[in-house]
Amino acid sequence: MKKFTMLVSLFCVCAFLAFGAGSKETPQQVVKEAGPITLTILTTATTQNPEGPLAQEFFDEFMRLNPEIKLEVTGVPMNQALTKITTLAAAGSLPDVFVNTENIIGQLYDMGICEDLTPYMTKAELENITESVRIGSTMENKLVLYPWYSGPNALIFRKDWLEEKGISAPKTLEEMRLAAKALTADTNKDSLVDRWGFGMIGTNDDSGQTRFVMILRGFGAKELYFQDGTWKTDIGSPASVEAFKYFTNLKNVDNVVPAGALENSFNENVNLLAAEQIGMLIAGSNSVGKIFSANPGLKGKIGSVIVPSGVTSYTPSSILGWSVNPSSKHKEAAVKFVKFVSSKKNAIKWVEVTGRIPCTNDAISDSEYLNTPLFEGFVAGFKAMEQAPNAPYYAEVKNVLGRTYQKLILNPALDATKEVQAAGREIQKIIDNNK
Amino acid sequence: MIKNTTDRLRQNSLGYIFIFPALFVLVAMIVYPMLYGIGISFFDTNLVNKWKFIGLKYYVRLLTDENFGRSIVKTLIFTFGTVAGRTFLGLLFATILVDKRIPFKPLFRSIIVLPWFFPDVVIGLLWKWLYNTNYGLINHLLLGLNMIKAPVEWLSNSSTAMGAVILVSIWKGFSFMVVMLMAALQTVSQDLYEAAEIDGCGRIGKFLHVTLPGIAPVLSTTVMLESMWSFKHFTLIWNLTYGGPVDATNVVSIDIYKTGFQYMRFGESATRAVYVFIIVIVISLLQRKFKNSKGY
């Protein structure tokens, strides 16, 4: 009996390994299509507000204009996009069109799941994509991400509060620190600070890490860069130590950051700004839509300026768009869809509702909304965007940075130089492990 | 001999047909994923187009990986804290609720099992709000009672984060212990308590010499189950702290998730999972050995 059971089990395992694991060629790829096309879409837009309803409006309009194409849309939150796409790709169930961003483009391209879209585009269409975005969407001369919108970071500030203090918008990191000190106050005179100069996103996630990298690079130190055929890091250098000290001192020495800095994520900081509890925040242009949606009374009181510089300034590339599954049977329809969503008319409408910046030259120049003083910093940041390192282990490197700034914030007595040098060694180990 | 086997197979064929669906589901849902997981631990893979065989490289590397060692220690702390807390509260409430003199017992029982019914994600978000430094209810109450002078950063301070997470985990799961122990307590004969009383046992004596031996088989099984579940627990911790601050709550399940789905090193992630599997098996064997030695 035991032997028989084992034999049956073994048979099942073999059968699964043979057929289950090999079932990546979906029936969709074998069976010829008949009738109207069903295009499967994976997007983050429908899970967000105020993006969701407008995105749905675009999808409905596309189906109305193209009755032969039916869209089957699945929503995924941004922080789960990579997990979802990887799982679907591994299972051979990748949709025809899926979300892609500058953060995950390298990993998805390495998996071979992004169609080169260059052949589907005219020269004029390609040239219409803003240069920095086009570079960020291209891997090995292949346009593998069709850009939809960009959300470059800038320093958002309370214009009215700075004017009250007679301070102009900070251009350098030192000016930003001093402005934050000036804005921090006990407004109701109960001996407790209730207004903070700077909203720190100190969480050890991509949101917090990316903002820290802007400050780090402002000090002239790079967390990861490619030089002479190899990846290198500046973490551990005196400039990087100064960057860590500057960032952690905002909380520990200058006291310009509200309590709970290590747990306050992007959304919590946006809420604090909308609740008039913080005066400045490094955030993407999309936060403007969220702030006004939470507190319409702030319209006209908010300004933006490019992320302040130290010895240099750095705004990482921020692009969200679409990739087309190379195994899709409906590539033409897929490209038609992504072009429609990113069209000038839709892009202009999109920025007005969500604050997210279009990626094409014609939409940017024709959008009156983008040319208001509110967007000054974001547009400047958009033009200065630089591509972040596309090493597949970049997320791990950023995690080391996040852990280090959290450690220094929690333990002000620690020797910052030693901790940053230890982080540098850890990053070097990651680089070596991946050689 | 061959004829014998063939006869037996023919005789039992109907039985084999009946067990086949269950066996098939078991193999499909448990054996295959497990073998697949063990299989990919020998590869450097992104699960799609990169399958580089690296043998035992990850197994060897992890043996000297300090971060992995630290995450195992964090897991043991979390597991011990959770199981000890749940056992203590479970015993306490079960003992109270089996007492015939307590009124409204069904109502209390229903209230106590409520946290168990909620999904971990909901509990995580709820407690994240309660713990929030700026607008959380806990800080608000403590400040109102003048017990603290400034808001406490419960989840973003490495000295309080693990305790805060363990507390939520205990709150979420102690009701299972209550239900199990109440059932066990009801099986302990009243005669034994009377005999113990005649022998001069007080309340504590009766608990130690009658109640505990009476519920020991159920208690040890429940503790084993709770230990294994807690060792692999992910959702609550992820929702509350994402393994932070720094690595204060970076238990091994979070380590596995990050390695696989954030750093895309599925092979190494699977290796970590295999190590966890081995540890859980060892815990289970030790518990079984303990049970056997006590004759449960």
The more confidently predicted of residues A26 and A11 is A11
Q: How far apart are CA A100 and CA B179, in angstroms?
A: 48
pLDDT at A17: 45
Q: For chain A, how big is the Rg over CA atoms in Å?
A: 24
Question: Is 60 exceeded by the pLDDT of residue A4?
Answer: no
Tell me: do A220 and A90 sit in the same domain. Answer: no
Q: How far is CA A367 from CA A8, A45, A58, A351, in A?
A: 67, 21, 18, 8
Say which residue the tokens 């809420």 belong to: A271
Cβ distance A303 to A373 under 8 Å?
Answer: yes
Using omega within 30 degrees of 0 as the cis cutoff, is the peptide bond preceding B213 cis?
no
Q: Which of B48, B74, B259 to mutate to test the interface with A (most CBs of A within 10 A)?
A: B48
Say which residue the tokens 């979802």 belong to: A84
Kindly state the average pLDDT of the residues B248-259: 94
Q: Kindly identify which residue of chain A lies nearest to residue B128, measuring between CA atoms.
A: A263
Q: How far apart are CA A183 and CA A178, in angstroms?
A: 9
Tell me: do A70 and A32 sit in the same domain. Answer: yes
Work out the widest C-alpha separation in chain B, in whole angstroms. 86
Residue A274 C-alpha from the chain's centroid: 21
Range list of β-strands (E), B190-229: none
Does A23 map to a domain? yes
pLDDT at B3: 63
Q: What is the mean pLDDT of chain A?
A: 89
Tell me: do A302 and A332 sit in the same domain. Answer: no
- Structure confidence at residue A30 as a pLDDT band (50, 70, 90): very low
Does A383 map to a domain? no
Tell me: do A184 and A303 sit in the same domain. Answer: yes
Subunit contact B16:A202, Cβ cutoff 8 A? no
Kindly state the average pLDDT of the residues B123-132: 94
Question: Is 50 exceeded by the pLDDT of residue A158?
Answer: yes
Q: How far apart are CA A197 and CA A179, in angstroms?
A: 7
Which residues in chain B have Cβ-Cβ distances shorter than 8 Å to A13? 27, 31-32, 35
Kindly state the average pLDDT of the residues A131-144: 92
For chain A, how many structural domains are there in total?
2
Kindly state the average pLDDT of the residues B38-53: 92
Question: Is 70 exceeded by the pLDDT of residue B55?
Answer: yes
Subunit contact A204:B133, Cβ cutoff 8 A? no
Tell me: do A297 and A338 sit in the same domain. Answer: no
- pLDDT per residue as tens digits for the range A379-432: 899 888 888 888 888 989 999 999 999 999 999 999 999 999 999 999 999 999
- Structure confidence at residue B283 as a pLDDT band (50, 70, 90): confident
Kindly state the average pLDDT of the residues B226-231: 92
Subunit contact A12:B16, Cβ cutoff 8 A? no
Does A307 map to a domain? yes
Question: Is 60 exceeded by the pLDDT of residue A203?
Answer: yes
Which among A20, A258, A410 has CB closest to B157? A410
Is B66 exposed, middle or buried (CB count within 10 Å of its CB: 0-12, 13-18, 19+)?
exposed
Question: Is 90 exceeded by the pLDDT of residue A360?
Answer: yes
Cβ distance A242 to A174 under 8 Å?
Answer: no
- Structure confidence at residue A14 as a pLDDT band (50, 70, 90): very low
Cβ distance A360 to A370 under 8 Å?
Answer: no
Subunit contact B32:A12, Cβ cutoff 8 A? yes
Number of inter-chain CB pairs under 8 A, A vs B: 108
pLDDT at A23: 40
- Structure confidence at residue A368 as a pLDDT band (50, 70, 90): confident
Subunit contact A82:B262, Cβ cutoff 8 A? yes
pLDDT at A78: 86
Does A368 map to a domain? no
pLDDT at A32: 43
**Count of beta carbons in the 10 Å neighbourhood of residue A39:** 23
Handedness of CA B181, B184, B190, B193 (dihedral sign): negative
Say which residue the tokens 């009658």 belong to: B210
Q: How far apart are CA A152 and CA A356, in angstroms?
A: 9
Question: Is 80 exceeded by the pLDDT of residue A27?
Answer: no
Least confident segment among A30-39, A159-168, B169-178: A30-39
pLDDT at B2: 57
Q: Which of A358, A381, A412 is the last residue of a domain?
A: A358
b/e burial code for range B71-99 (CB count within 10 A of at least 16 → b): bbebbbebbebbbebbbebbbebbbebbe
Which residues in chain B have Cβ-Cβ distances shorter than 8 Å to A17? 32
Subunit contact B158:A410, Cβ cutoff 8 A? yes
Say which residue the tokens 């990626």 belong to: A359
Q: Kindly identify which residue of chain A lies nearest to residue B258, measuring between CA atoms.
A: A396
Q: Which of A113, A209, A262 to mutate to test the interface with B (most CBs of B within 10 A)?
A: A262
Q: Kindly identify which residue of chain A lies nearest to residue B243, measuring between CA atoms.
A: A204
The more confidently predicted of residues A223 and B1 is A223
Q: How far apart are CA A188 and CA A198, in angstroms?
A: 19
Does A306 map to a domain? yes
Question: Is 90 exceeded by the pLDDT of residue A151?
Answer: no
Kindly state the average pLDDT of the residues A331-340: 96
Which residues in chain A have Cβ-Cβ distances shorter than 8 Å to B247? 403
Does A164 map to a domain? yes
The reply to whether A262 touches chain B by the CB within 8 Å rule is: yes
Tell me: do A339 and A401 sit in the same domain. Answer: no
The reply to whether A126 touches chain B by the CB within 8 Å rule is: no
Q: How far apart are CA B158 and CA B129, in angstroms?
A: 18
The top-scoring range by mean pLDDT among A204-208, A325-329, B48-52 is: A325-329
Residues 6+ apart with CB under 8 A from B238: B124, B254, B257
The reply to whether A90 touches chain B by the CB within 8 Å rule is: yes
Q: How far apart are CA A42 and CA A88, in angstroms?
A: 10
- Structure confidence at residue A19 as a pLDDT band (50, 70, 90): very low
Which among B35, B156, B247 has CB closest to A403? B247
Kindly state the average pLDDT of the residues B182-209: 90
Q: How far apart are CA B190 and CA A193, in angstroms?
A: 62
Q: How far apart are CA B293 and CA B14, in angstroms?
A: 40
Does A2 map to a domain? no
Question: Is 50 exceeded by the pLDDT of residue A29?
Answer: no
Q: How far apart are CA A157 and CA A283, in angstroms?
A: 10
Phi, psi of A153 (to 5 degrees): -80, 150
> Model pTM?
0.84
Interface of B with A (CB under 8 A): 9, 12, 16, 20, 23-24, 27-28, 31-32, 35-36, 46-50, 132-134, 150-151, 153, 155-158, 241-242, 244-247, 258, 261-264
Percent of chain A exceeding pLDDT 70 equals: 92
Q: How far apart are CA B158 and CA B245, in angstroms?
A: 6
Domain that holds residue A198: 153-316+389-433
Least confident segment among A252-256, A269-273, A326-330, B131-135: B131-135
Lookup: tokens for A343: 């069209």
Question: Is 90 exceeded by the pLDDT of residue A435?
Answer: no
ipTM exceeding cut-off 0.95 for this assembly: no
Is A265 exposed, middle or buried (CB count within 10 Å of its CB: 0-12, 13-18, 19+)?
middle
pLDDT at A63: 96
- Structure confidence at residue A336 as a pLDDT band (50, 70, 90): very high
Tell me: do A170 and A309 sit in the same domain. Answer: yes
Question: Is 70 exceeded by the pLDDT of residue A15?
Answer: no
Kindly state the average pLDDT of the residues A109-115: 92
Is A151 exposed, middle or buried (CB count within 10 Å of its CB: 0-12, 13-18, 19+)?
buried
Q: How far is CA B94 from CA A113, A248, A308, B122, B226, in A?
A: 55, 49, 61, 26, 17
Tell me: do A311 and A347 sit in the same domain. Answer: no
The reply to whether A122 touches chain B by the CB within 8 Å rule is: no
pLDDT at B32: 93
pLDDT at A265: 87
Subunit contact A261:B156, Cβ cutoff 8 A? yes
Subunit contact A90:B155, Cβ cutoff 8 A? no
pLDDT at A20: 43
Does A335 map to a domain? yes
b/e burial code for range B222-254 (CB count within 10 A of at least 16 → b): bbbbbbbbbbbbeebbbbbbbbbbbbbbbbbbb
Which among A82, A399, A410 has CB closest to B245? A410
Strand order from edge to edge, sheet including A357-358: A69-75, A37-43, A97-101, A319-324, A146-150, A357-358
Provide the 8-state DSSP code for A45: G
Tell me: do A258 and A397 sit in the same domain. Answer: yes
Q: How far apart are CA A420 and CA A397, in angstroms?
A: 13
Provide the 8-state DSSP code for A219: T
Q: How far apart are CA A164 and CA A381, in angstroms?
A: 26
Subunit contact B48:A410, Cβ cutoff 8 A? no
Say which residue the tokens 């699977």 belong to: B270
Q: Kindly identify which residue of chain B lies nearest to residue A429, measuring between CA atoms.
A: B65
Q: How far apart are CA A71 and CA A377, in angstroms?
A: 36
Q: How far apart are CA A163 and CA A157, in angstroms?
A: 11
Tell me: do A69 and A15 sit in the same domain. Answer: yes
Subunit contact A86:B264, Cβ cutoff 8 A? yes
Which CATH number fits the domain that encloses residue A327? 3.40.190.10
Tell me: do A19 and A78 sit in the same domain. Answer: yes
Tell me: do A237 and A285 sit in the same domain. Answer: yes
The more confidently predicted of residues A354 and A23 is A354
